[in-house]
């Protein structure tokens, strides 16, 4: 199956305008776990909305944000969330579906990562 020209455009374009001779063609990879702030108050402000700010790379990271935007565009979705592992993705779904005081219960036919989650969470509340 041939690749759509629209899909190629989505994959190659990071942002609408590049400064010739200055900006790289590929998205720079941000390899850090923590981000700097001018002072402690700025850090506290960013932490208050950590899901919208780069505070700790496991939550938000500029490189991962580009990946998420491109995957959402390729899939014609409204948004995308990338995780560092399959277990992190499964955990996010399970914890996102459960609310305070709810239980996670498995059965005898559990397999794979679901087994690890339910084994740790059996008879415990969120």
Report pLDDT digits (tens) over 56-95.
887 788 888 889 999 999 999 999 999 889 998 998 888 8
Compute the residue count for the chain.
Answer: 126
Residues 101, 123: Cα–Cα separation, whole Å: 11
Residues 91, 83: Cα–Cα separation, whole Å: 10
Categorize the per-residue pLDDT at 122 as very low, low, confident or very high, splitting at 50, 70 and 90.
very low
Supply the pLDDT for residue 40. 95
Check pLDDT > 80 for residue 12. no
Supply the pLDDT for residue 57. 82
What's the pTM value of the predicted model, to 2 decimals?
0.66
Supply the pLDDT for residue 106. 67
Q: Over the stretch 17-55, which tens digit does the pLDDT of each residue have?
A: 566 677 777 777 888 888 999 999 999 999 998 888 889
Nearest alpha carbon to residue 113 among 58, 93, 71? 93
Q: Give 11 or 80, the one with higher predicted confidence.
A: 80
| Sign of the CA dihedral running 13, 15, 20, 23 | negative
State the burial class of residue 64 (Cβ atoms within 10 Å of its Cβ: 0-12, 13-18, 19+). Answer: buried
Nearest alpha carbon to residue 61 among 79, 90, 94, 35? 35
């Amino acid at each position: 199956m041939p690749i759509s020209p629209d899909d190629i455009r989505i994959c190659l374009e990071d942002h609408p305008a590049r400064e010739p001779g200055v900006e790289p063609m590929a998205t720079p990879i941000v390899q850090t776990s923590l981000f700097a702030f001018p002072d402690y108050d700025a850090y506290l402000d960013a932490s208050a909305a950590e899901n919208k700010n780069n505070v700790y790379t496991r939550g938000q990271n500029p490189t991962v944000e580009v990946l998420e935007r491109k995957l959402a565009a390729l899939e014609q979705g409204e948004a995308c969330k990338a995780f560092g592992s399959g277990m992190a993705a499964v955990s996010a779904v399970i914890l996102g579906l459960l609310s305070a005081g709810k239980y996670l219960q498995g059965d005898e036919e559990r397999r794979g990562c679901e087994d690890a989650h339910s084994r740790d969470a059996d008879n415990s509340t969120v």
